[in-house]
Structure 1
Amino acid sequence: MGAAIRGLLVALMVLTPALYLPVSTLNGTEIVVFLAILAFILTFSEYNSAFPSFIEFRDAPPVNRLRFVGLTSMVTFLTLICKDMYSPTELTNLFYAMGLAVANVADFPYSPVRLVVLVLPNDASVALIELVRICASIAYVAALVTIASFFYAVKMRGWPTGNGAFNVWTNLPLFDPTKGVDVVTRLQRDGRLNISIGILLPFLIPAMIKLLSSFVMPISLANPQTLIWTLSAWAFLPASMIMRGMATLRIAALIVDKRRAYTTSETTQTA
């Protein structure tokens, strides 16, 4: 039942933009429904199986819960803001006003939000520029809040010690502790690398898109659904990588503490 509920929630998140916004392509509805069914099957099969496949930290809440809430918040907020451009209501007006207030704070020179706005073509309309600025600000702030929430769980709540023993096999299925150098060194290296890349990605992705726009056709953000998923991915992927880096560093620190306690115990018994 828990796996089915998780799958339904993920499928509903995928369907949210299509339920509220117009579909621009002929087969757009069928594609969205197919993606929602695929998301349900993947999530259900992962959480219903005793053997892990690729989803990390499935038995170490609240990592994946925070990821899901963060991505769902981005998609929902951006959907309501974009809906205000087509059929405004009091609710969409409220979210648009909130987004405008956030954009006035997050959009400053050399910020990731400003870099996203600069990716737009020179002939982009004023309305599209303002919409992209607001949506990018909301997505970026939601990502920062997600990271801060996990930081609170690690530093203040002592994650993952409150959930019992941490099983490396089920929570890090793609990590082989028997391969390479010492497991602590590998975890620390992977954690620092993930955090560094996560911090740089919001700046690098717009720059790379701007450079590649001279060679390939850039993604058009005029389509509201494309805008929502593009900016959600731009903000969520770095946030997810930073959270993974924080988690692996925390696991490495716990292993070091465990080794130190074992060494102290052995020394005491010998003495």
Structure 2
Amino acid sequence: MWLLVATPTLILSGSTGEGSQLVVFFGALAGLFTFTEYFFKYPSIVEFRFAAPFNRHRFVTIFAMVILITLVCKGVFAPTSLTLTVKHWGDLLGRAIDVPYSPVRLVVLMLHDNASVELVEIVRTAAGLAYSISLLSLVIFVLLVRVAKWPSNSGAFNVWVNLPLFDPTGGGDVLIRLKRDANINIIFGFLLPFLIPAVVKTATDLVGNLSMDDPQTLIWTMSAWAFLPASMIMRGMAMGRVAEMIEEKRRRAYAQSDAAQHA
């Protein structure tokens, strides 16, 4: 987690000024929080911590977004063969997805009217990379759930430990509530890439423009824009999978009960 937070600063500058010290501080906080969540027995916030590789998959997704967008920004003032290659593929992906009413097109339209051509291009490239990574991550996670039968291969699944924010005793059937929460997460995850640019555009029209000229702002804005919806969809799919496991267990229990009664 510390490396994730520090990566943009390390790649873009490599300096040790006040800004770098702030990055180190926030990176240390993120690392300490993650260590605390996984070290102690009782969970607080992090979900699916004992249902690998759910959280590792999400971390790789956000890390890939951050590092690739950082390389694109690095290539603006210090081009290398690596940064030019990443920018080339980002340009291809961004232009391919930049169609009317697509999330990438909405991100481009989010920019202020007098934005330079160079800024529009780099925002399109960053959005194309981030959104493509999120789609690829979702495809891989679908394969983990449907083909690799996650989380069955991780051993016994403890709902309390892996879903600390979900209260099984909150009222109503647990199965119905899990399916409802899963559907809500998937729906909002699908809509967020379209809603976030519209909300930001409306907010900037009221309080001022969001400056994408700063590389750090561009990196974290585009990463959050693509990662949060993908993370919500993965969470919804994971909760749906847990609901399926509970339903299968109930079905087996009912079948055994019926067999015992007729024996």
Q: Please report the TM-score for the alignment, with normalisation by the length of structure 2.
A: 0.97
- Say if 2:66 and 2:223, in contact at 8 Å, map to a contact too: yes
Among candidates 261, 265, 271, match of residue 252 of structure 2: 261
Identity %: 50
| Structure 1 residue aligned with 2:117 | 126
What is the rounded CA distance, in whole Å, between the counterparts of 1:150 and 1:107 in structure 2?
A: 25
In structure 2, what is the Cα distance between the partners aligned to 1:206 and 1:103? 16
Structure 1 residue 71 and structure 2 residue 43: aligned?
no
Q: Structure 1: how far apart are the matches of 2:20 and 2:255? A: 62
* 1:135 aligned partner, one-letter code: A
Q: Does 1:32 align with 2:19?
A: no
Q: CA deviation at 1:20?
A: 1.5
Tell me if the contact between 1:21 and 1:225 (Cα under 8 Å) persists in the aligned partners.
no
Counterpart residue number, 1:82: 73
Indicate conservation of the 8 Å contact 1:209/1:218, yes or no: no
User: Does 2:49 match 1:58?
Assistant: yes
> Residue 111 in 1 paired to residue 79 in 2?
no
State the one-letter code of the partner of 1:224: P
What secondary structure does 1:85 align onto? helix
Distance in structure 1 (CA, Å) of the matches to 2:205 and 2:89: 35
Any idea what SS the aligned residue of 1:158 has? Answer: coil
SS at match of 1:123: coil
Structure 1 residue 62, shift from structure 2 partner: 1.2
Match of 2:142 among 131, 151, 172: 151
How far off its partner does 1:104 sit? 2.0
CA contact (8 A) 1:15 1:32 kept: yes
Task: Structure 1: give runs of 5+ residues left out of the alignment.
Answer: 1-9
* Aligned mates of 2:229, 2:50 — CA distance in 1: 22
Matched AA of 1:236: F
After TM superposition, where is structure 1 displaced by more than 3 Å over at least 4 residues in a row? none
Aligned match of 2:198: 207
Alpha carbon RMSD of aligned pairs, Å?
1.3
Q: Is the 8 A contact 1:117 1:133 kept in 2?
A: yes
Deviations 1:43-77 (A, max 9, x none): 11111111111000000011101100000000010
Aligned match of 1:172 in 138, 158, 163?
163
For the pair 1:141 / 2:129, whether they are aligned, the reply is no
Paired residues of 1:113 and 1:137 also in contact (CA < 8 A): yes
Q: 2: distance between equivalents of 1:244 and 1:218? A: 32
Partner amino acid for 2:53?
A: P
Instruction: After TM superposition, give the deviation of residue 22 of structure 1 in Å.
Output: 4.1
CA distance in 1 between counterparts of 2:12 and 2:48 reads: 33
TM-score by length of 1: 0.94
